[in-house]
Amino acid sequence: MDADVAVRDGRLSIRWGDGHRSIFHAVWLRDHCPCPACRHPATGQRLLETAGIPDDLRLASARLAGAVVEAVWSDGHVTALDPAWLRHHCYCDADRATHRPRRRFWRAEGRPGLPEAQHRDIVADADALREWLAAIDVYGFAVLRGVPGVPGEVTRVVELFGYVRETNYGRLFDVRSVVNPNNLAYTGLGLSCHTDNPYRDPTPTLQLLHCLSSSAEGGDSVVVDGFEVAERLRATAAGKFDLLARVPVAFRFADETADLRSERPVVTLDVGGEVAAVHLNNRSKAPLRIEADLVEPWYAAYRTFTRMLEDPAYQLRFKLAPGDLFIVDNLRVLHGRSAFSGAGQRHLQGCYADMDGLRSTLAVLERSRADVIGHLFERMRRYGTGAYLGEPVSITAHMLQAAHVAERDGAPPALIAAALFHDVAYVVHQPNDDPALDDRHPEVGARYLATHFVPAVSEPVRLHVAAKRYLCAVEPGYRSALSPASVRTLAVQGGPHGEAEAREFEASPFARDAVRLRRYDDAAKVAGAATPDLDHYRPLLEGLLIDRSAP
């Protein structure tokens, strides 16, 4: 690695080959010395006591010595560091901004379906398991189909990625609802959206429910992204959001053998002010004991928030059939159930687990998989060679052409990647000749990309059909230049934007990228055009992967 290494103002200063400058403070650098005296070679754990670093220690000199950056300290200690490690851990403002969690907020509107997998796949295939776990991490919930209808199976699903959290309800619990339409009080309960067990400390961070039998009508399951709704509340009623974030609420559950209580705000913020948890369960909310002046404002905020949670715009609904299982991030996604009607039985089994086990398994799978880029290239080569919706090129040739056009246009790396993958739905979704995919492919593709790549890759893909509808509405002549196949699909896709739709589209942060992507897409339907091979894009793509496993 080419780098200019020096001590400046007592700090390590490095100018990298690409012009980027990194500054490392002396105490930070000393704290991360990887020598065997400072860090245990086998476990990688720190032996150096940070408290024991002398207050007057100075960085005496630093240089690039062969393949390492070598720092010499005023007490004679020598620290040798891998330049790539240093570059990765640069904490300048620009580099810090690239480290973001990969979760994506969602609402029901515009979602084409559920993040889901088949039980037989995640049991047999590490890639399928990884993708299912990543979906839970990103969206806060997922569905699993084809789970064996055996009591206790729900705990075996947990054992695929983590550990059951045993509670006073046992390792698992049965949810049997005898539907009795004569009992209005019961059918009328309205199992409004809630998180489970807010009276516990710590709250279980994952809940699973496995449907063993269901012959009742109705009883749809509902999930809501509590973080999306909380952010919406913050955007529209900051004062109410603030009250929910700073007023502690007691939750309580008591029976003969347990007496659980915990106190926390409905919305928990992390130290950066981001929403870190939602705890909400109207059934177990205990009497508020807060300043009298806050009682009415708090209730107003609580009722606004709970009413928003019941808004169908946010609520994703689905019906659990026998063999279905759903899992929620219980600090984020609220779940509920619509009322029953008719006669019948419904038997679910549930259990709790924790996010740390899930994220650890996910990180190990991501660390050990061959690599996502190779995996994707393989699928593009294998599945993307068929005809593409009546265009004169295959899907993969079309995407390679789009990337090539983007590259020649001087597009930034993420937009080149978006062009290369904009129709990736047709190679990652099976069956790929599903007619519904024509309408859903931007969403399906973006969801897949979002679990691996930064938003600047996935979001233009999500919007690239919307961009076509937008351009048809606002740009004279655009529509008449479309390929015949593209004109045909326009109708299925909703036709040109109306004025309000166009304004809404323009407001989205990736609208301009999506419009650029759209033009590359339109220009990439030339039979036999020469393009670079997929491997040409590998270095560019590696820089756009979401970084999860780096220390």
- Confirm if 372 and 421 have CB atoms less than 8 A apart: no
Q: How many helices (H) and strands (E) does the chain have?
A: 21, 24
Which of these ranges, 37-45, 116-124, 468-476, 532-540, lies near a second copy under the rule CB under 8 A? 37-45
Residues of span 367-406 touching a second copy by CB under 8 A? 367
Helix (H, G, I), strand (E, B) or coil at 341: strand
Residue count, binding to a second copy (CB under 8 A): 89
Task: For residue 262, state whether it binds a second copy (rule: CB under 8 A).
Answer: yes
Taking CB under 8 A as the criterion, the residue among 123, 175, 363, 529 binding a second copy is: 363
Taking CB under 8 A as the criterion, the residue among 66, 76, 484, 551 binding a second copy is: 551
Give me the amino acid identity at 440.
R
Task: For residue 180, state whether it binds a second copy (rule: CB under 8 A).
Answer: no
Q: Please report how close the Cβ of residue 299 comes to a second copy at its closest, in angstroms.
A: 4
Q: Please report how close the Cβ of residue 289 comes to a second copy at its closest, in angstroms.
A: 5
User: How many CB atoms are located within 10 Å of the residue 408 CB?
Assistant: 11
Side by side, the strands of the sheet bearing 116-118 are: 116-118, 141-145, 325-329, 206-214, 346-353, 173-176
Task: For residue 236, state whether it binds a second copy (rule: CB under 8 A).
Answer: no
Interface map 239-258 toward a second copy (x if CB under 8 A) = ------xxxx---xxxx-xx
* H-run or E-run covering 357: helix 355-368
Residues of span 277-296 touching a second copy by CB under 8 A? 282-292, 295-296
Taking CB under 8 A as the criterion, the residue among 3, 216, 339, 364 binding a second copy is: 364
Q: Please report how close the Cβ of residue 327 comes to a second copy at its closest, in angstroms.
A: 16
Q: How far apart are CA 364 and CA 359, in angstroms?
A: 9
Q: Is the Cβ of residue 303 or residue 512 nearer to a second copy in the bound state? A: 303
Interface map 496-535 toward a second copy (x if CB under 8 A) = ----------------------------------------
Location of structure tokens 């019906």:
319
Q: Please report how close the Cβ of residue 345 comes to a second copy at its closest, in angstroms.
A: 21
Residues of span 9-28 touching a second copy by CB under 8 A? 23, 25, 27-28
Which of these ranges, 49-57, 71-79, 122-130, 481-489, lies near a second copy under the rule CB under 8 A? 49-57
Write the DSSP assignment of 472-506 as a string of letters: HHHSTTTGGGS-HHHHHHHHHTT-S--HHHHHHHH
Task: For residue 61, state whether it binds a second copy (rule: CB under 8 A).
Answer: no
Q: Please report how close the Cβ of residue 282 comes to a second copy at its closest, in angstroms.
A: 5
- Confirm if 29 and 48 have CB atoms less than 8 A apart: no
- Confirm if 209 and 353 have CB atoms less than 8 A apart: no
Return the C-alpha torsion angle 285, 291, 292, 296, nearest 10.
-50
- Confirm if 526 and 341 have CB atoms less than 8 A apart: no
Helix (H, G, I), strand (E, B) or coil at 370: coil
Interface map 343-362 toward a second copy (x if CB under 8 A) = -----------xxxx-xx--
Select from 383, 468, 377 the least CA-distant residue to 420.
Answer: 377
Q: How far apart are CA 328 and CA 316, in angstroms?
A: 13
Which of these ranges, 38-46, 121-129, 373-381, 494-502, lies near a second copy under the rule CB under 8 A? 38-46
Task: For residue 84, state whether it binds a second copy (rule: CB under 8 A).
Answer: no
Task: For residue 38, state whether it binds a second copy (rule: CB under 8 A).
Answer: no
Sign of CA dihedral 444, 447, 448, 449: positive
Q: Please report how close the Cβ of residue 415 comes to a second copy at its closest, in angstroms.
A: 27
